[in-house]
Structure 1
Amino acid sequence: MLKDISEWERIGFGGKSTLEKEELKSPDGLKYLIKYPRKFNQGVSWEDITELIAAEIGKILGLEMMRVEIVTRKGQRGCLLRNFVEEYDAMMAEEGGALLPSLAETYNELQQSSLKNIELIKAGFAMIEKFGYWESIKTEFIDMLLFDSLIGNQDRHPFNWQLLFFIEEGPIFSPIYDNGASLGFRFEDDQLMRKVLNAREMNKYIENTKIKAGLFEKKSVKAKDLLTFIQKRYPKEFTSSVTKLITFDMARYEEFIQSLDFLSDAQSVWLLHIISFRRRKILEWIGEEVEKNE
Structure 2
Amino acid sequence: MIEKNDIIFKLQDYRYLEWNDRTRTSQGTPGSFLKTYVGTGINRTYYKLSNSDYRGIIGHESVNELIASRLLDVLGINHVSYRLIHALVNIDDNEYETWMCSSKNFRKNSQEKMAFDAYFELMRQGKEMPIDFCKKRGWDEQIYKMMVFDYLICNRDRHGANIELIQNEDGTIQLAPLFDHGVSLLFSCYDNEEMASEYDVMKDRMCNNYFFTRSLEENLNYIPKDIKLNSLSQDDYGYIMRGIDEILPSVYGKKIWGMITKRWQRYEEIQNSK
TM over 0.5: yes
Q: Distance in 2 between matches of 1:41 and 1:284?
A: 44
User: How do residues 101-112 of structure 1 correspond to structure 2 at under 5 angstroms?
Assistant: 101-102=121-122
What do the CA deviations read for 1:94-122 (whole angstroms, capped 9, x no partner)? 11122122157968xxxxxxxxxxxxxxx
SS in 1 for 2:247: coil
Q: Cα distance, 1:132 vs. partner?
A: 7.0
Q: Distance in 1 between matches of 2:81 and 2:236?
A: 18
Check conservation: 1:9, 1:25, Cα contact below 8 A: no
Which amino acid counterpart does residue 30 of structure 1 have in structure 2? N
Report what 2:99 is aligned to.
77
Aligned in 2, Cα 1:152/1:103: closer, same or farther, shift over 3 Å? Answer: same
What do the CA deviations read for 1:36-93 (whole angstroms, capped 9, x no partner)? 11125799521111011111111110011112111214244311121212xx445211
| 2:82 equivalent to 1:68 | yes
Q: Distance in 2 between matches of 1:186 and 1:277?
A: 19
Match of 2:44 among 25, 31, 39: 31
Q: Distance in 1 between matches of 2:257 and 2:17?
A: 37
Q: Runs in 1 of length 4+ with deviation above 6 angstroms?
A: 104-107
| 2:215 equivalent to 1:222 | yes
Report what 1:151 is aligned to.
153
Report what 1:135 is aligned to.
137
Structure 2 stretches lacking a partner, 5+ long: 1-8, 90-96
Aligned in 2, Cα 1:41/1:280: closer, same or farther, shift over 3 Å? Answer: farther
RMSD: 3.2
Tell me which moved more, 52-61 or 183-192.
183-192
SS in 2 for 1:153: coil
Report what 1:239 is aligned to.
226
User: How do residues 1-294 of structure 1 correspond to structure 2 at under 5 angstroms?
Assistant: 1-2=9-10, 4=12, 6=14, 14-15=26-27, 16-25=30-39, 30-40=43-53, 44-71=58-85, 72-74=87-89, 75-85=97-107, 88-102=108-122, 126-129=128-131, 131=133, 134-168=136-170, 170-187=172-189, 188-195=192-199, 202=200, 205-215=201-211, 221-228=214-221, 230-231=222-223, 235=224, 238-241=225-228, 243-244=229-230, 247-260=231-244, 261-287=246-272
Q: Distance in 1 between matches of 2:263 and 2:52?
A: 28
Which amino acid counterpart does residue 141 of structure 1 have in structure 2? I
Check conservation: 1:148, 1:211, Cα contact below 8 A: no
Q: Cα distance, 1:266 vs. partner?
A: 1.1
Structure 1 stretches lacking a partner, 5+ long: 108-125, 196-201, 290-294
Which amino acid counterpart does residue 198 of structure 2 have in structure 1? R
Check conservation: 2:33, 2:49, Cα contact below 8 A: yes
Aligned in 2, Cα 1:167/1:206: closer, same or farther, shift over 3 Å? Answer: same
Check conservation: 1:2, 1:70, Cα contact below 8 A: no
Aligned in 2, Cα 1:106/1:168: closer, same or farther, shift over 3 Å? Answer: closer
